[in-house]
Amino acid sequence: MSAVMEHGGGPVQRLAHPARAISLYDLFRKQPAEYLCPGRSLFVEGDDAAHVFEVLDGALRVFKSVSDGRRVITGFMYPGDIVGVSLGKHYLGSVEAVCGSTVRRLPRSRMDAAVDADKRIRPMVFSLVADEMAAAQRQMILLSCKNSEERLCSFLLEYLNRSAFPGERFPCLNLPMCRQDIADYLGLTIETVSRAITKLIDKGVLQIENAAVRQTITIAKPLLLAQIAGEVAPSMPTAEDAG
Amino acid sequence: MSAVMEHGGGPVQRLAHPARAISLYDLFRKQPAEYLCPGRSLFVEGDDAAHVFEVLDGALRVFKSVSDGRRVITGFMYPGDIVGVSLGKHYLGSVEAVCGSTVRRLPRSRMDAAVDADKRIRPMVFSLVADEMAAAQRQMILLSCKNSEERLCSFLLEYLNRSAFPGERFPCLNLPMCRQDIADYLGLTIETVSRAITKLIDKGVLQIENAAVRQTITIAKPLLLAQIAGEVAPSMPTAEDAG
DNA sequence: CGGTCAATTGATGTAGTTCAAGGTTAGTGG
DNA sequence: CCACTAACCTTGAACTACATCAATTGACCG
């Protein structure tokens, strides 16, 4: 049995953003941690973009509300992510805590001042924005081209890659978000998400330890998962032995 | 009969980006115009992001190719737009001319230097990126929530708003892109786009002047178009008299 | 224990895809 | 001038993946 991976379980290494002598993260270092209860809103779409936030722990959902009451989740944020770098005067989306989470808050003016003062900060901010743009485009491809099974696999793979130990042999994910969140992220209904999970369990790609605790999912065939997600060329490894 | 609006018809006022004394557009002023034949590629996804481009005339498509040969168009670029501000080391998507188009080319290093040198340039670049991000999120909503008719109306409305005279009573659009481009942009098949157009003609929202020249479309009921697109609260104006 | 909430499962409906055919235009060459 | 071809668009018929509606289950909780 492999170790359970969860973002909410404690401080996570920031492999993608190592803390150098001068880094964007240094700006947050002195800021106090703030705790957010599950469901608590950090800011709302259209608000004055007064702060940026560093996620320390937990998980947040970024979403836009549509006129008919529906909701489109444009992304999830995990420890190490910086939230609210919209580059505009107002926030583009709303952000809520998916589960109990902690963040640090930095006034936007402070970040702007740092960008002005230190040329080394600027490429980091640009890189954050570029990453967000790339993620948005990946999401457009997902919504344009992928079926429900592929969407779910893409989501799980993305979550896996942002978890602590993506290389684990049989990684076990602890999903903090509910099925409705996943559905709103993948452009599906909750029922279709549920059926996609069942189908992947039937195929042996996923396993659920305890039928009752359904947010804990073991990936029994990671390679096959990646293959279905469409992020791997469907070449040598056949469906039979993949995973 | 109203005047035909086309982006390719000549220089267009840049209402959104007025040329001030010091502007991003000043950097392009001295650059020579380059002509692109229809279908000509400007750069390819993954290329070193060596230049940024100002569109002077025509229309460009920005797209990403998917493994199975399909293509997702993430946006169209029109006169006044700046192409290739990806903020990263590599271009995020490929860009091709939809029709005969002209652009000006600026080395990225020159733009970066200007951003370093003049604080007034920076917010303009940021604002461009923020606009792109907002467009990407609108597109996610379109792909997540809207049906084929709503998608088509959103597209036509977007095109109308970027054309020279969006307020025209019965605006007449001259679409430079083919049905396949529209389909790849809206996440539909070419057949579904065609049927959506037919349906909107039947409803009296659109009119086609000449059955043979099907890229020229008159919007007979602009208000109804906006209402179907979902960008207007479906309140007072009923479907009967809208438009 | 009854109530609520999240998730699953089944039955049915439908919007959009797929496959196939036909029409119009433009270009080419005799 | 007409035949021939290649694009591009439209239309029809059949199929399918997902949505919708409805019922069931298990966990948690006052």
- Inter-chain contact A136–B137, Cβ cutoff 8 Å? yes
Tokens found for residue B87: 């903020």
Give B106-155 pLDDT, tens digit per residue: 999 999 999 888 888 888 898 999 999 999 999 999 999 999 999 999 99
Measured distance CA(A186)–CA(A242) in Å, rounded: 25
Disruptive mutation site among A116, A120, A143 for chain B (greatest number of B CBs within 10 Å): A143
Whether B160 shows a pLDDT value over 90: the answer reads yes
Whether B21 shows a pLDDT value over 60: the answer reads no
Measured distance CA(A7)–CA(A217) in Å, rounded: 14
Measured distance CA(B92)–CA(B84) in Å, rounded: 8
CB atoms within 10 A of CB B211: 6
Q: Is residue B4 very low, low, confident or very high in pLDDT (cuts 50, 70, 90)?
A: low
Disruptive mutation site among A125, A144, A180 for chain B (greatest number of B CBs within 10 Å): A144
Q: What pLDDT is attached to residue B237?
A: 43
Of the candidates B74, B94, B61, the residue with the CA atom closest to the CA atom of residue B138: B74
- Helix crossing, B148-162 with B222-229: angle to 10°? 120
- CA B193 to chain A, closest CA, distance in angstroms equals 14
Q: What rounded mean pLDDT belongs to chain B?
A: 87
- CA A114 to chain B, closest CA, distance in angstroms equals 13
- Inter-chain contact A143–B144, Cβ cutoff 8 Å? yes
Say how far A214 CA is from C7 C1', in Å: 8
Give B127-137 pLDDT, tens digit per residue: 999 999 999 99
A124: left (phi over 0), alpha (psi -120 to 50) or beta: alpha
Tokens found for residue A64: 């836009």
Measured distance CA(A72)–CA(A180) in Å, rounded: 11
Q: What pLDDT is attached to residue B232?
A: 62
Of the candidates B36, B30, B35, the residue with the CA atom closest to the CA atom of residue B110: B30
Q: Is the dihedral of CA A228, A231, A234, A237 positive or negative?
A: negative
Query: CB-based contact (8 Å) between B180 and chain A?
Result: no
D18: residue with closest CA to C1' = A192
Whether B241 shows a pLDDT value over 60: the answer reads no
Q: What pLDDT is attached to residue A186?
A: 98
∠ Cα B205 B208 B209 (to 5°): 130
Q: Residue length, chain A?
A: 243
Is-contact B86 B129, C-beta < 8 A?
no
Partner residue facing A119 (CB), from B88, B116, B143: B116
Report the DSSP pairing between strands B172-174 and B4-5: parallel
Measured distance CA(B157)–CA(B219) in Å, rounded: 10
Identity of the residue numbered A215? Q
Contacting residues 163-222/A vs strand C (CB within 7 A): 178-180, 190-191, 193-195, 197-198, 214-215
Say how far B145 CA is from D25 C1', in Å: 30
Q: Is residue B88 very low, low, confident or very high in pLDDT (cuts 50, 70, 90)?
A: confident
pTM of the entire structure?
0.90
Measured distance CA(A54)–CA(A42) in Å, rounded: 12
CB of residue A101 closer than 7 A to nucleic acid strand D? no
- Inter-chain contact B136–A134, Cβ cutoff 8 Å? no
Residue ranges of chain A whose pLDDT lies below 50: 1-3, 8-21, 234-241
Q: Is the dihedral of CA B156, B160, B163, B169 positive or negative?
A: positive
- Inter-chain contact B144–A72, Cβ cutoff 8 Å? yes
Query: CB-based contact (8 Å) between B133 and chain A?
Result: yes
- What value does the mean pLDDT take over residues B17-34? 79
Task: Give the full edge-to-edge strand order of the sheet including A82-83.
Answer: A33-36, A101-107, A51-57, A82-83
CB of residue A154 closer than 7 A to nucleic acid strand D? no
Query: CB-based contact (8 Å) between A118 and chain B?
Result: no
Measured distance CA(A156)–CA(A193) in Å, rounded: 12
Q: What pLDDT is attached to residue B61?
A: 98
CB atoms within 10 A of CB A191: 10
- Inter-chain contact B143–A141, Cβ cutoff 8 Å? no
Beta-bridge partner residues of A34 = A103
- Inter-chain contact B86–A133, Cβ cutoff 8 Å? yes
CB of residue B193 closer than 7 A to nucleic acid strand D? yes
Q: What pLDDT is attached to residue A89?
A: 92
- CA B211 to chain A, closest CA, distance in angstroms equals 30
D25: residue with closest CA to C1' = A212
CB of residue B191 closer than 7 A to nucleic acid strand C? yes
Chain-centroid distance of CA A117 in Å reads 31
DSSP chain A: -PPEE-GGGS----SSS---SS-HHHHHTTSPEEEE-TT-EEE-TTSB--EEEEEEES-EEEEEE-TTS-EEEEEEE-TT-EE---SSSB-SSEEEESSSEEEEEEEHHHHHHHHHH-TTTHHHHHHHHHHHHHHHHHHHHHHHH--HHHHHHHHHHHHHHHSS-TT-SS-EEE--S-HHHHHHHHTS-HHHHHHHHHHHHHTTSEEESSTT-TTEEEES-HHHHHHHHT-S-S-SS-TTT--
Q: What are phi and psi of B203, to 5 degrees?
A: -80, -10
> Which of the pair, B22 or B186, is modelled with greater confidence?
B186
**Virtual CA dihedral for B149, B152, B155, B158, nearest 10 degrees?**
-50
- Inter-chain contact A129–B233, Cβ cutoff 8 Å? no
Tokens found for residue A122: 């600027």
Of the candidates B132, B159, B228, B225, the residue with the CA atom closest to the CA atom of residue B6: B159
Q: With contacts defined as CB-CB under 8 Å, which chain B residues touch A129? A: 87, 129, 133
